[in-house]
A and B are shown apart, each in its own frame.
Chain A
Amino acid sequence: MNAGESANMIPCGLGARNTLRLEAGMCLYGHEIDDTTTPWEAGLGWICKMEKGAFLGSDVLARQKQAGVRRKIVGFEMLDKRIGRDGYPVLIGGYEAGRVTSGGPAPFLKKNIGMAYVPPESTAMGTEIEISIRGQAAAARLIPLPFYKRPQ
């Protein structure tokens, strides 16, 4: 650290890495994805090549692709000053309709952002939702993922 001081080097750990990951709209196991989610729900369909033949779970995925998913991952920004964080309930029309999978301040974007699962009929960009923060509803709005894209 002393050696890097003249080059403005500062310590950086898991917190910074998680912010970076969230700004890029990437899924993290245990948050957006776990053993109950599917690639269609998590917006990871591009990873699954259904035409390549059967694989473990391909029957379930084929059925879900036909029947449609019951939840989809979306990105949101807080309109309220409060911060929607991992695990907080998502309210739509006053009723619990999903959960925040990752959420927190994005210092670089200067706003509070997050990802959440919501019903597929509530995924339109601009949809206003609420995040239940310690029992109080806080306004948020759906915005496109990723939250940040590096200029090419």
Chain B
Amino acid sequence: MYPAGYRYTKEHEWVNVEGTAGTIGITDYAQAELGDVVFVELPKVGAQLKTGQSLGTVESVKAVSEIFSPVSGEVTETNPLLSDSPETINSDPHGTAWLIKVRLTDPKEASSLMDSAAYQAYIAEKAKEH
């Protein structure tokens, strides 16, 4: 379910690092919590993001959720699929429904985030709180 090569944040974003490029999205847990996604607002290509900074919003029928950048970097691409088909986030959050790609300021930064096993343990704990 949660790709082994990805890194994960406590706010339920993921980042997939390949060299100096990072692809960012939200996790399956996040999409399930949000419900039907109806609108996505993303930053412009060229925007500089700092770790923890808001990179945009994902809106479901019920609410607006801010998405925080898991890493620092410059936005090189935004997913064109999401403006017409935001609901893809519900069906393929770890794949085709990536949000943005960035040129990483520090490719090693993401290694401080949770790996797949740690994230799954983290959300299992969360589920117990409910």
A complexed with B: yes
Where the two chains meet, the residues of A that have a C-beta atom closer than 8 Å to any C-beta of B are 15, 19, 81-83, 85, 104-105, 107, 134
**B residues 12-43 with Cβ under 8 Å of A?**
35-36, 38-39, 41
Residues of A within 8 A of B126 (CB): none
Contact of B41 with A105 in the complex, beta carbons under 8 Å: no
- A15 and B38 CA atoms in complex are apart in Å by 14
Contact of A19 with B61 in the complex, beta carbons under 8 Å: yes
Q: Is the interface of B mostly helix, strand, loop or mixed?
A: strand
Total residues of chain B contacting the partner, CB 8 A: 11
Contact of A82 with B41 in the complex, beta carbons under 8 Å: yes
12 A–B contact pairs at CB < 8 A?
A15-B61, A15-B62, A19-B61, A81-B83, A82-B39, A83-B39, A83-B59, A83-B64, A105-B39, A107-B61, A134-B41, A134-B57
- Beyond the given A19-B61, A81-B83, could you list 18 further A-B residue pairs with CB under 8 A, ordered by the A residue number? A15-B35, A15-B61, A15-B62, A81-B39, A82-B39, A82-B41, A83-B38, A83-B39, A83-B59, A83-B64, A85-B64, A104-B61, A104-B62, A105-B38, A105-B39, A105-B61, A134-B41, A134-B57
Least Cβ–Cβ distance between A13 and chain B, in angstroms: 9
- A134 and B41 CA atoms in complex are apart in Å by 11
- A107 and B38 CA atoms in complex are apart in Å by 9
Cβ-closest chain A residue relative to B41: A82
List 7 A-B pairs, minimum CB-CB distance, nearest first.
A15-B62, A105-B38, A105-B61, A83-B39, A83-B59, A107-B61, A15-B61
